[in-house]
Amino acid sequence: MSLPRYTVPTLSMADGAKVAAALQAQLHALNDLQLTLKHVHWNVVGPHFIAVHEMLDPQVDAVRLMVDAIAERIATLGVPPVGTPGALVKARTWNDYALGRATTIEHLGALDKVYEGVIAAHRKAADATESLDAVTNDLLIGQLHALEQFHWFVRAHLESSSGTLSTKGESTERGAAEAAAVGE
């Protein structure tokens, strides 16, 4: 990550760099998420196809707006945001999405794990910026609200009437997809 050329008033250059680095990681995560959501949108099949297919487009649109807001905040902090595919792949700490063409329930099971990872990382970034920059922290918390709502939309398809998630205990996208398919 580049050092800031300048930063916002009352924020030191060192703190501006820390905040921008936390945001850059989330920029990569959200860019990956919007591509993954679109991939799922194109590759779901089976019962409930149209419901899931149409549920995902507003999520893609909202995540794209989050990406833009984060990139603009990084620039405001005096650091050039990096949004290239190569930089994303090089920096990411997670594996590529595991499913291709699959049933809606399999994709939703896998997306449960994707959202868990993105939300956990976003919360970590919010925690890291809480004492450094209230504006950035507010941005991340606002985005968490939408991400958690989208996660709930996904989980509503995976939950039994007793409140048990079919993906409970699974740690991988493939495992969650298989568990969701069994629980269908």
Per-residue pLDDT reduced to its tens digit, 95-124: 999 999 999 999 999 999 999 999 999 999
Could you tell me the maximum CA-CA distance found in the chain, to the nearest angstrom?
Answer: 55
Whole-prediction pTM: 0.95
Residue 1 confidence class, pLDDT cut points 50, 70, 90: low
Query: Is the distance from CB of 17 to CB of 3 less than 8 angstroms?
Result: yes
Please report the domains of the chain, with CATH numbers, ordered by start residue.
Answer: 13-183 (1.20.1260.10)
Per-residue pLDDT reduced to its tens digit, 53-71: 999 999 999 999 999 999 9
> What is the distance between the alpha carbons of residues 104 and 53, in angstroms, rounded to a whole number?
9
175's tokens:
């495992």
DSSP 97: P
Exposure on the CB side of residue 134, measured as CA atoms within 13 A: 2
Per-residue pLDDT reduced to its tens digit, 143-173: 999 999 999 999 999 999 999 999 999 999 9
